[in-house]
Structure formats: structure tokens, C-alpha cells
Amino acid sequence: MAKPELEFTDYRKFAARPFSKVEGLSERVIAEDPETKVATRILQFEPGTDTSPNGVQIHDFWEELYIIEGSIIDLTLNEEFTAGMVACRPPGMKHGPWKSPNGCKIFEVRYYAK
């Protein structure tokens, strides 16, 4: 089994760990495939987080996201995305970098399609 079986659990039981070298960006990994590193996680932007040092992102996997609370601004598109919005990004889709003046929490699922 690539990811563990898990019944409803408070997401705060998963340790928040820094994600990338960007100050204020962390993740709580709920499930992860140890071979491919695709994961289900909560991504947290603290107020003032700016991911510009990471540049534009491009992945070889699918990403599906739901903004739980707060907002992020895509600096390339100059567009703000807010709580309740969703995204589905196929492999190769460019996105970011991001800025979150007031903080943001995102539920994210990453996977490879067969």
C-alpha cells in the first residue's frame, strides 16, 4: 500500500514542518508515498509569506487543492485566490510564486495518474 490507511483524525496531530527554504511556509503531511513522495497535506502560509525565492513551480504529478482559509496571490498572474476556491493542476502546469499577506491554509493532494 503506497499510503497508509487512516480514519478521521485531527490534522493538528501531524507535525508542522518547514517546507522549502521560504520563511513562514510549512506543511502537515497526512499521507505520503515513500517511493514517489506524492502526498496529501495541509500547506500553511504564515502572514507575510513570499515564495518568490522558489520561483515558478512545475511538477511531473497532478495537484488538487482547496483553500481552507485565508488567501494567496499568484505573483505571475497578479491574481488573488481566496477561501473556498479550488485548483486542479496537471503535470507541467506552471504556477506561482505566491505571496500571502494575511496567511493561508490549503488542503492539497498530489498524485500520478495511470
Q: Three cell numbers at 26? A: 510549512
All structural domains of the chain:
15-111 (2.60.120.10)
Residue 104 in contact with residue 70, Cβ under 8 Å?
yes
Q: Three cell numbers at 25? A: 511556509
pLDDT at position 37: 78
Residue 109 in contact with residue 64, Cβ under 8 Å?
yes
One digit per residue, pLDDT tens: the chain, 114 residues? 577 788 999 999 999 999 888 999 999 999 998 888 789 999 999 999 999 999 999 999 999 999 999 999 999 999 999 999 999 999 999 999 999 999 999 999 999 887
Q: Three-state SS for 86?
A: strand
pLDDT at position 1: 53
Residue 20 in contact with residue 51, Cβ under 8 Å?
yes
Write the single-letter amino acid at 55.
G
Comparing C-alpha atoms, which of 88, 89, 43 is closest to residue 69?
43
